Chains A and B, each alone.
Chain A
């Protein structure tokens, strides 16, 4: 039901389907807007899309040098494959996707502050979460493009033995991991709104979560002291589940990972909404919105 107010603008009742559709629409428009802006910098765009492949190639060469070829029996004891290149490629590809989703979501508010458009966006009836979701969608779509370039590049150079049907479990993991990362991005966005310099924290967390993510090593070999932290990081399980999906399809371990991710989704999303709302309220109370 829409209540119109003597104008073409509609006010959607809270928790209604029309409201949800409106918010999804806003997130979509924001994503399109980010794409327009990103494509206006063609070299930057090319860099971001090709960077994962350029980053991966030395790792593959290093991995091959380390095990003396492509196959490793030691790796097979820890992971679902003995193929070092396959292991590294999908570890790296999944980490690149998930990190970028987190990065774009967390930096969305800050980027609007930098360009001076945060207040303009805040004047519209769109939810703050839609703003972050729009950024996250942009990160997701851009990193999926980078993923195909990365995997396609490795396929072209080395060849990869993969079952295309296993893309389904991979996409499922990607979807659920994105929810956790959205919650994580909300926390960081709230901190960035309130503290401005907190965006350095985005950088720190990016590096730290990459350290914990089993992209270039099996999770089992992670030092014991870091394991509790790795277990609560959505990127850890995203990478693990993504690669398990590609290598084994819907295996028991894959379902186990999915279970972890769904639990993390609830924790991170609820925590994210609470933290973001708290910091956003206090920023508006201080009158510091849009300051940078």
Chain B
């Protein structure tokens, strides 16, 4: 019996990026370290969140686990099968969505035809594939669209059928890369509930999900790894991560304009500042002590305030404390 259905040990991956025309001498190559000695073990029946900003290496890790990308070094196993040496067996053990996936199914085929086709590609009998298809279409609220071509589906429905595609094989391990990206809020909420209540609690699936939505990781994950610049910064339960900054308060200020960097640094009592476009998060041990100074500084700079809130720390704040940057910060996706 494999202890960890998803096992990652010392995985590293570099990509060579080139810029400029291949016919020019000025063409520049640079090495991007997408993953750097990543370790990660997911227990059976666990939902494990991989939380990090765009370009942190989340998708690269999922692509390695799904055998789409070969790592430079390290070992990754799905259900006990090495994703490089036993890739076919590993692929039979998981269902996965990668990226948005709007184009991951055949638009000229109906939703039902797509799901049956993919079921057959996993070796399901025609009857089993059809039964699973009917069940999943019902779960995704697409029964009445079963015989319509996917090209006529809305974007949200295309995402649903892609999600159903990942579930068609009824595999014990599920890998979801940004599963709610692009979904309308109502279905995103339903999908989160489905992942938690049906896939985890009823069907005991082992699930790795990547997200840059802090609330999603917080709501769904039993444990979370924070990833930044290809490195796992910390792994713990969401509660444990938040406990690291339990003595802190967060002042969240939204303004009408973008804010300059470091303009609050000289105010004593501020532990951490995260400035992103028109919002700023200030970590402090006592919000009442610094509030006045902050407001005066904003007034002095002629900045109009849209809202001010004092919040208890979130996972994002734990991320800021550990990495010095927020989840909305962008880096070139690797």
Contacts and interface: CB of A to CB of B under 8 A. Distances in A.
A123 B122 CA distance: 10
Contacts of B96: 123
Contact of A11 (B89, B106, B165): B89
Interface string B12-37: 01011000000000000000001000
A284 B69 contact: yes
Contacts of A22: 123
Contact of B89 (A29, A40, A125): A125
B104 A37 contact: no
Contacts of A33: 106, 109, 117
B256 to A, nearest CB: 40
Nearest to A39: B108
Contacts of A116: 103-104
B128 A124 contact: no
Interface stretch (B167-175, B178-186, B259-267, B311-319): B167-175
Interface string A1-45: 000011111111010000000100110010011001100110000
A285 interface: yes
A121 B68 CA distance: 11
A287 B128 contact: no
Contacts of B172: 5-7
B91 interface: yes
Contacts of A289: 68-69
A127 B91 CA distance: 11
Interface string B67-97: 1111000000001000000001101110110
A11 B93 contact: yes
B79 A5 contact: yes
Given A8-B124, A9-B169, A289-B68, A119 B109 contact: no
Given A8-B128, A36-B108, A29 B121 contact: yes
Given A11-B93, A124-B91, A117 B69 contact: no
A26 B118 CA distance: 9
B98 interface: yes
A253 B29 CA distance: 57
A120 B69 contact: no
Interface residues of B, number: 43
Interface residues of A, number: 38
Nearest to A114: B103
B107 interface: yes
A8 B170 contact: yes
B105 interface: yes
A117 B15 contact: no
A189 B40 CA distance: 35
A125 B91 contact: yes
Contacts of A290: 68
Interface string A278-292: 000100111101100
B113 interface: yes
B223 interface: no
A122 interface: yes
Nearest to B120: A29
A120 B92 contact: no
Given A25-B120, A116-B103, A124-B118, A5 B67 contact: no
A37 to B, nearest CB: 5
Given A120-B165, A124-B122, A37 B109 contact: yes
B120 A120 contact: no
B275 interface: no
B68 A125 contact: no
Contacts of A40: 108-109, 149
Given A29-B120, A29-B121, A115-B106, A11 B92 contact: yes
Nearest to B68: A289
B69 A287 contact: yes
B248 interface: no
B63 interface: yes
A120 B93 contact: no
A286 B123 contact: no
A126 interface: yes
A33 B34 CA distance: 36
B81 to A, nearest CB: 8
A26 B105 CA distance: 16
Interface in A29-86: 29, 32-33, 36-37, 40-41
Contact of A120 (B60, B104, B108, B123): B104
16 contacts: A7-B171, A10-B92, A11-B89, A11-B92, A25-B123, A33-B109, A33-B117, A36-B109, A37-B109, A40-B109, A117-B103, A281-B70, A285-B69, A286-B15, A286-B16, A290-B68
* 10 A-B pairs with the lowest CB-CB distances in the bound complex, closest first: A116-B103, A125-B92, A124-B121, A40-B108, A125-B91, A29-B120, A287-B69, A120-B104, A37-B108, A284-B70
